[in-house]
Amino acid sequence: MVGVGVVRAGTQYNIVAEHAEIEGTTRSFLPEVREFTNRRVREIAEQTARMYGAEAEVEFKDFAAPLINDVQAVKEVTAVTEQLICREQIVSDYEKALGADDFADYLAVTRGMYAFVGTHSEKKPGSGVAHHHGLFDLDEEALLLSCNVYVDYALWVMEAEEI
């Protein structure tokens, strides 16, 4: 996926810009797909610039790797969470998404899972909006639940591993 978040160019609608800058992200579930996408973005930018007698400078910074939850950790956290709230409140068949977060770096070295808690409350309409959207509004009542899930799961892991 290629997402463009910023476009800066020119000073007036009827004057050809001397310089343009585009910022965005490329995301994928597999590193080889990200490499392919980045290569194609570079090729398209350079070829388009060349076609108009210009030059393109393309720079990529790989920030977050794909965030893929550990299946066993999902099962364990779901079981712990079921002790705190009713099963109907747990969404475990969340559709695969191309969100990115530094948490993926942790998952590269240990098992774990990323969860959305308090991010879709009927009492708080903005809570269902994507996190980086200007209308996003976390349901703060869910903070206590997330703390309880983290603590209870940590205790469960410590007990299971006899720590």
87 burial type by CB count under 10 A (0-12 exposed, 13-18 middle, 19+ buried): exposed
Q: What residues pair up with 2 in beta bridges, in sequence order?
A: 26
- Write down the pTM of the prediction: 0.70
Question: DSSP assignment of 101-150, as one string?
Answer: -THHHHHTTS-------SSSBTTBGGGGS-TTSTT----TTHHHHHHHHH
Of residues 119, 127, 118, 132, the one with CA closest to residue 27 = 132
Q: What is the pLDDT along the chain (163 residues), one digit of tens a residue?
A: 898 999 999 999 999 899 999 999 898 888 899 999 999 999 999 999 999 999 999 999 877 788 889 999 999 999 999 999 888 888 877 777 777 788 888 998 999 998 888 777 777 777 777 777 788 887 888 889 999 999 999 999 999 988 7
